[in-house]
Structure formats: structure tokens, C-alpha cells
Amino acid sequence: MNASSLAILGAQPAFDSPVPIGQLYFPSWQRYESAFRDIFERQYYTNQGPLAQRLEERVQEFLGVRHGICVSNATIGLIMMPDALGLSGKVILPSFSFAASAQSLSWAGLQPVFCDIDPDTHQIAADRIGTLIDENVSAIMGVNLWGGACDLKALAEVAEENGIQLYFDSAHGFGCAVDGISLGNFGRAEVFSFHATKILNATEGGCICTNDDELAARLRNIRSSYGAGRFVEVVKTANGRMSEAQAAIALMSLDDFPENRENNEALYRLYAARLKDIPGLCLVEPSGVSRSNYQYVVCTVDEREFGLDRDLLIETLKAENVIARRYFYPGLHRCIPYATDFSQYLDRLPDTDRLCASCIQFPIGALVSADGFERICNILVSAHRLSARIRSRHAE
Ligand code: T4K
């Protein structure tokens, strides 16, 4: 591709079919067939079947955690947390997150207290949490983003000093470690996502990890049906069960985790080497971890230096069949119902607002080849070089 040939300016797209963001790992057909033949022969689809049980054991072993409670997706896992922890009143969380983080509080009738983020790491600003705590705050929900982690030590200190609980939305964090300890072992509990776009993929799925036996028993009873283990009285129950089909795929994904992580890291480093020479694109390093899963390539776009704003860059890439995304947009404090019910946050989260306007996620994962990566970077170089022409074409 030469510099005058961008699809947004009328050339042929660089890719014939869409290149998505996300891990999107597909094991070989033979492995699928064999795993699904076993399910067929056992004639057992769901309800803490042998594959779901094996997955829980393998996750526990892999993360070095006492309990891995697999669920049908991370959203339901997060929804189960407030009742399992006995939360009330308000919970502090970052506004820079996926809808599920705040929605899980809404399902429990809890009030979110939105905290700003650290603009360099994109994680919750631990030093600003103290000012948000009042007598109605019962917990902090840290969100471990982008294959990195919040300042876990600072969060644990502020939770302890104020006698409130701490748990994590670690949807992005499977296989990451802090000072050699795997995520899954921090706070009262952590919730991972095993969605198809994540490094551990059950198509849909998730897992709640905790080292607390009592909490684990409550969570298993809330998830309901077989697999509850010890009976514990709980007020609400749900159907958060993971099916055998989901567990079969997650087990294959776990087998191939080291290879997928390595592939991600190699791609991430290639992006880092190329992006540093493109003015206005600043790659975010996974923060606060001793090991990352590198499952995201996240940049901020400086419009003045790059020549295009983030949204016009997304359009430019889309014309080439490259599906970049603007996670997370808008910030949760600007989404319904929070923007209307808690309008006090609208002018209180300047770093979140800036990031929501400039953050972009590029493709990484199993479907991105070395050649594909080269083509994506060449598009970015050309988009910068031809930014004036793109802007004037866009304005027509
Ligand atoms: N907390 C945080 C911080 C989260 O980011 C998330 C989810 C959660 C909690 C809740 O976890 P889950 O309940 O989902 O387990 C995606 C994912 O659905 C979601 O898991 C993720 N975070 C969120 C950030 O992104 P979408 O709607 O943007 O993904 P989707 O399905 O559009 O896929 C992305 C791209 O991949 C598209 O271009 C289509 C393509 N694709 C997708 C799938 C699933 C394919 O080509 N093939 C596929 O099979 O939300």
C-alpha cells in the first residue's frame, strides 16, 4: 500500500473482510469435534457437569486460588457479588469501564460513586478515593483494565482504613500477575470474563475467584443448583451456570493460553515499535503488573499531533475493514440512568472525559497475522500523513 491509497480517499480497502478487535481464538475443528463428541456421548449438557468441574479445578490450579466459581458470563458474576458480600448503600468504582460494572450495582439497588482515573495508566485514581468515602459507602469495586492492574496495595489500604470491602472487576485480567501473584487472589473476590473477545474464551463465560471459603459457599448457592457444595442460606438465587459446551471451549483455550499470551505479547511489542514513530498515537502500557496477558492494544489519539481526531481515525480504519473500537465511550457517568440520576458527576471526572474522547483499541489476538499487523500500521502511517486530505474529504 502506498501513501496515496487509503480507502477513505477512494482506494480499495486493505482487507477483504473485517479484522476485529478481541482474542477470538478458535481451536482446530478436530479438537472441537472431539470435545463435543464427548458431551454428546455423556448426554449431559449443563449443571456443573464434568467439564465445568474440571475447568474450575484447572482455573484454581492455574491461578493458585482456593475457589474458581465458573459462571455464564462476567456480568452475571458481577451481579452476584453485592448479595454475596452483603453490600448496602454506595459502591465506589471508576466511570471508565464497561456498562456491566455499574449495571451490576443497579441490579442490587446500590448507588454508584464514580471515581476519576489516572490518565497515564487508565486505572482508577487510588489517591482520589479517600475523598469519596462517606458513611454510606460499603465497598470499592476496582476495575483491572487492559491487562494491567489498579494500584492494589493503595486500594487495600484505603478499604482497610475505612472498614469497607474491596472487590474487583477483573474482566480483562485473566493470566495477569502482580508481584508474581496471579490476579484472582486480591480483595474479597475478583470476577473474570471468558467472553470470546478475552484471552480465556468460553464464547460467553466468566469466573469468580476468591480465597474466602464462606464467600465461595454463598456465591455457589447464589449461582444455584448442583455444584453448590456446602449449603449456605442466601436471599437471592440466579442462574449463573456455565454449560458443558462453554467449559469445553474454555478448557481448550486454557491449554493454549501460554501460546496465545505469547502471540499477544509479540504483537504488542511490534505495535510498540511501530507506533512510537507515529506522532500523536500514545500506546498504553499494561500498568502495575509483573505479567500481562497483553490482550489489548490501547492508544490515545492526540488530534493536534496526529492530524485526525479519534473518531475520524476509527472511520478511516473502518473503510479499510479494520474494526478499531472506542472503549469506553461514553463514560458510565454520561450513560443512562447515571447521567440523569447522579448528574453531580457530569463535571467532576475531567480525566475520564478526556480519555473517553481520545482512547482507541486496535486489533490484537489470534486473528491478527504478522502481515495483517504490518498493513494496519501502514494504514496508521498513511492516515497521519494524509490527515489534511481526510479531514477535507470528511468535511465535504
Ligand atoms: N467488565 C469489564 C471491564 C468488561 O470489559 C466487560 C466486558 C465486562 C465487565 C462484562 O463481561 P461479560 O459479561 O461480557 O463476560 C465486548 C464484549 O462483549 C465484552 O465482553 C467486553 N467487556 C466489552 C469491552 O467488549 P462488544 O459488544 O464490543 O463485543 P462484540 O461482540 O461486538 O465483539 C467485538 C468485535 O469482534 C466485533 O468487531 C465483532 C467481532 N467478533 C465478535 C465475536 C463475539 C467476531 O468477529 N466473532 C465473534 O465471535 O462487547
Question: pLDDT grade, residue 4 (50/70/90)?
Answer: low
Question: Residue 184: is its pLDDT beyond 70?
Answer: yes
Question: Residue 2: is its pLDDT beyond 70?
Answer: no
Which atom of ligand 1 sits closest to the CA of residue 78? 9
Residue 192 CA to residue 184 CA, distance in Å, equals 8
Question: Residue 343: is its pLDDT beyond 70?
Answer: yes
pLDDT in tens, 50-65: 999 999 999 999 999 9
Question: Residue 228: is its pLDDT beyond 90?
Answer: no
Express as a percent the part of the chain with pLDDT over 90: 92
Dihedral in degrees, nearest 10, Cα atoms 218, 60, 102, 302: 170
| Residue 280, all three cell numbers | 500523536
Q: Please report where in the chains the cell 481464538 appears, as a residue.
A: 25
The CA 36 to ligand 1 mean position distance, Å, reads 24
Per-residue pLDDT at 233? 86
Residue 380 CA to residue 320 CA, distance in Å, equals 11
Q: Is the pTM higher than 0.85?
A: yes
Average per-residue pLDDT for the chain: 96
- Tell how strand 281-283 and strand 297-301 pair up: antiparallel
3-state secondary structure of 299: strand
Residue nearest to atom 24 of ligand 1 (CA): 98
Question: Residue 248: is its pLDDT beyond 80?
Answer: yes
The CA 151 to ligand 1 mean position distance, Å, reads 25
Ligand 1 probe mutation, 70, 93, 195, most atoms within 8 A of CB: 195
Which atom of ligand 1 sits closest to the CA of residue 145? 3
Contacting residues for 214 by C-beta, under 8 A, at least 6 apart: 232
- Mean pLDDT of all residues in 315-344: 96
Per-residue pLDDT at 366? 84
3-state secondary structure of 266: helix
pLDDT in tens, 291-305: 999 999 999 999 999
The CA 21 to ligand 1 mean position distance, Å, reads 9
Ligand 1 probe mutation, 144, 197, 327, most atoms within 8 A of CB: 197
pLDDT in tens, 262-276: 999 999 999 999 999
234: how many CB neighbours lie within 10 A of its CB? 19
Per-residue pLDDT at 385? 97
Question: pLDDT grade, residue 121 (50/70/90)?
Answer: very high
- Mean pLDDT of all residues in 174-197: 98
| Residue 6, all three cell numbers | 487509503
Per-residue pLDDT at 198? 97
Residue nearest to atom 31 of ligand 1 (CA): 197
Ligand 1 probe mutation, 32, 98, 104, 295, most atoms within 8 A of CB: 98
Q: Comparing 21-25, 98-102, 159-163, which segment has the lowest mean pLDDT?
A: 21-25
- Mean pLDDT of all residues in 346-370: 95
DSSP 256: T
Whether 361 contacts 325, CB under 8 Å: yes
Question: pLDDT grade, residue 39 (50/70/90)?
Answer: very high
Residue nearest to atom 41 of ligand 1 (CA): 20
Among left, alpha and beta (phi > 0; psi -120 to 50; other), residue 227 is: left
Q: Please report where in the chains the cell 457517568 appears, as a residue.
A: 333
3-state secondary structure of 158: helix
Question: pLDDT grade, residue 231 (50/70/90)?
Answer: confident
Q: For the packed helices 310-319 and 387-395, what is the interaxial angle rounded to 10 degrees?
A: 90
Which atom of ligand 1 sits closest to the CA of residue 206? 15
Per-residue pLDDT at 226? 79
- Mean pLDDT of all residues in 112-139: 97
CA atoms within 13 Å, Cβ hemisphere of 391:
12
The CA 204 to ligand 1 mean position distance, Å, reads 9
**Ligand 1: lining residues by beta carbon, under 6 Å:** 20-22, 24, 73-75, 97-98, 100-101, 143, 169, 171-172, 193, 195-197, 206, 323, 327
The CA 300 to ligand 1 mean position distance, Å, reads 20
Question: Residue 1: is its pLDDT beyond 80?
Answer: no
Whether 105 contacts 91, CB under 8 Å: yes
Question: pLDDT grade, residue 230 (50/70/90)?
Answer: confident
